[in-house]
Amino acid sequence: MIADDFDLPLRQRPRIEFLGLDFDSRPSGDVRAWLSARGEESGFAYLVTPNVDHMVRLGKAGAQVQRAYREADLCVCDSRVLSRLARLCGVDLPVTAGSDLVRALFDDLLADGDRVCLIGGSAELAARLVERFPHVVILHHDAPMGLARNPAARAAAVAFAAAAKARFMLLAVGSPQQELLAWEMARSGDVRGTALCIGAGVEFLIGVRARAPRIVQRAGMEWAWRLIGEPRRMWRRYLVDGPAIFPAVWRWRRARARAGGRP
C-alpha cells in the first residue's frame, strides 16, 4: 500500500533535500502505486524525474524553471550517479527511472480505453505507439522546438492537454521545457489527470532508442552507453556539462557541514 502522506499538501509531506531540491525519497513501487490510483478525473498533478543533467542545469535556471521542479507533486531521482553521490553525503535517494515508469504505465497500469495525451515526439512516434498499444487512446500534440522561449506554443500545448481529458499526459519535449509546461498546466486550473515529464521515455519504450543492458544500468554506467551510442549528440552533456555535478556536490556538502548538518 502507498503511504498516506503521498496525498498531503507539499508543505506537509516529508521530503529530503539534496543540492537545493526537495526529493520524495520513495521506492519505485510507491510511485507506481500512486500512478495506479490516479484516474482521468483526478485533480491535476505532475511528476518530475531529475537526473545529473537536470540538476546541473537547474543550478543556473531562472525562477520559473526552479519553481516548476520545486512545486511538482512528486520529485524522484532518475539517476544512479546522482543517487550514489547523494549516498556519499548521507542522503538516501532511491532511483525511479522515468523510462521504467513509462513502461510500467503501458504494460501494467493503463486499462482498455484509457486516454493518454502525448506532447512532443513526431507523428511517426505517436503512430508506432498506437500500433503497439491499440487498447489505449493516444492523443498527440506535435509541439515545436524551443518551448522554453515560446509562451504561445506552451499555451497551445496546455490547451490541448485540457481538451484531451486524458488520464495521463506524457511530456516528451526535453528538460526544462517539459517541467515548465507541467507547471503551467497546474497553474492553468484547466487540466486534469497526471503529467509525467519523461524525456525520451516513449522512444525507449517502442525501440527507437535502445536502453543500456540491465548490468550496465546497475553499474551506474548508462551515461557511458548513451555516449558511445550517440557521441555527437551526447558528448557535451556527459563530458562538458555533466562533470559540474561534482563541485556542486562538494559545495553542498561543505555548506551543510558548516550549518551543522551531517557531512
Angle value at C-alpha 147, between 19 and 101, nearest 5 degrees: 55
Q: Residue ranges of the domains in the chain? A: 4-258
**Averaged pLDDT, 247-259:** 89
User: What pLDDT, in 10s, does the model give residues 121-136?
Assistant: 889 999 999 999 999 9
In which band, very low, low, confident or very high, does the pLDDT at 2 lie, cut at 50, 70 and 90?
very low
pLDDT digits (tens, 9 = 90+) for 155-204: 999 999 999 999 999 999 988 999 999 999 999 999 999 999 998 888 88
Q: In what order do the strands lie in the sheet with 45-48?
A: 74-75, 45-48, 194-197, 168-171, 115-119, 137-141
Instruction: Please say whether the beta carbons of 25 and 94 come within 8 A.
Output: yes
* CA-to-CA separations, 20 to 15, 47, 69, 97, 252, in angstroms, rounded: 12, 18, 11, 20, 8
Q: How far apart are CA 217 and CA 222, in angstroms?
A: 5
Contact (CB, 8 A) for 53 and 78: no
What is the rounded average pLDDT of the residues 4-12? 56
- Indicate if the alpha-carbon torsion angle 84, 85, 87, 88 is positive or negative: positive
**Does 3 have pLDDT greater than 90?**
no
Provide the pairing of β-strand 16-18 with 21-23: antiparallel
- Within 8 A by CB and 6+ apart from 246, the residues are 85
* Residues making up the chain, counted from first to last: 263
Q: Where are the alpha helices (DSSP H) in the chain?
A: 28-37, 52-58, 63-70, 80-88, 98-104, 123-132, 151-164, 177-188, 201-206, 214-218, 222-229, 231-235, 245-258
- Whether this model's pTM surpasses 0.75: yes
Report the C-alpha gap between 35 and 233 in whole angstroms: 32
Residue 139 clears pLDDT 90, i.e. is over it: yes
Quick one: CA dihedral 104, 107, 112, 114, positive or negative? positive
pLDDT band at 14 (very low <50, low <70, confident <90, very high): confident
Average pLDDT of the chain to the nearest whole number: 87
Given CA atoms 33, 214, 216, 104 in this order, what sign does their dihedral have?
A: negative
pLDDT range class, residue 233, cuts 50, 70, 90: confident
Q: Which three cell numbers stand for residue 49?
A: 524525474
Bridge partner list, 168? 116, 194
